[in-house]
Every structure is written in C-alpha cells, then in structure tokens.
Amino acid sequence: MTHPESQRDTHGDTHGDLHGDLHGDDRFTLYDLRVDVIATDRPMVCNHRAGDYFELSGEMLRFPDGQGFPLYSLAGLLPILPAKQRETHPADWMTTDTDIACVDPHCGGRFRITRTARRTFRHGDVTVVPMPSIPSDR
C-alpha cells in the first residue's frame, strides 16, 4: 500500500488547498479512500471477510469484481467516509483514527480506512450552485 504523503497532488501543501477559493481558485481536493476488512480475535458475523475492500474516489464507490459488501456494515461506514475524504486538523481524531467497528455488536469485523491519494476537483464540475464572489482585495 502506498503512503498517502507520496501521492500528494501538485497543488501545494495540505492547508493551502483548503483556502484556494480565497484566491479565486475553484479547485478543491478530497482524499481517495480505501476501506479494508480487518479480522480480530472475535469471529465475523456478517458476510464480510478479511481482505475484502472497497474504494471511494469523489462520490464513486468501487468494489472488486465479484465482491459484495453487507448493507448494514456499509450503512455504518457511510457517515464517516465524507469526513475522512476531507482535510482534517492533525489533532482531530478523524485524522488519526483509522479503524471502525462493524455496526453488528456481535461481529468481530473492523474496517480500516486509508487515505490513499488526493484528488483535485473543480467546483463547477461537481455542482451547479455558484461559488460566492470573493472580494479582489484579499
């Protein structure tokens, strides 16, 4: 697995992109994510197996050919993923914590969320809502 730092895009440091809009820039970045099923010492109850995974890039979830993923486990993960896609403060638990427990309290499965790369998007490519105008003297 590639370390996220090695795949940073060419648009500067991690915090510069957060404020790109202040400079009339309509670009923003999100992390691509990979979610891997991790085994623990407790058995898995759901139909996920160690080594199963899926990836998220922008709004697109991708699963390996032929591999499914349990609905309820996915539902438990979904609220976390958009936050994990975004740049977070180094002290924020969202930055440091990577493993999420399965929503079934009887299941030993864990899901490891890894930021794999940063991807740049343009505002106009992802929404029809206009950006607020930015005063030019900033």
Q: In whole angstroms, give the CA distance from residue 129 to residue 126.
A: 9
Q: For the CB of residue 85, give the shortest distance to Zn ion in the complex, in Å.
A: 23
Nearer to Zn ion (CB atom), residue 54 or residue 109: 109
Residues 73 to 102 in contact with Zn ion, rule: CB under 5 A: 102
CA distance 47 to 56: 20
Instruction: Give least dist CB 40 to Zn ion, A.
Output: 10
Q: Is 54 in contact with 45 (CB distance < 8 Å)?
A: no
Kindly state whether residue 25 participates in binding Zn ion, applying the rule CB under 5 A: no
Among 107, 110, 116, 118, binds Zn ion (CB under 5 A): 107
Q: Considering only residues 53, 61, 104, 123, which one is a binding residue for Zn ion as defined by CB under 5 A?
A: 104
* Residue from 30, 37, 38, 46 binding Zn ion (CB under 5 A): 46
Site for Zn ion in 116-135 (CB under 5 A): none
Among 34, 52, 109, 110, binds Zn ion (CB under 5 A): 109
Q: Of 51, 41, 46, give the one whose Cα is nearest residue 105.
A: 46
Helices within 43-119 (DSSP H only): 71-77, 80-85, 93-96
DSSP string, 92-106: SHHHH--EEE-SSTT
Q: Which residues contact Zn ion (rule: CB under 5 A)?
A: 46, 102, 104, 107, 109
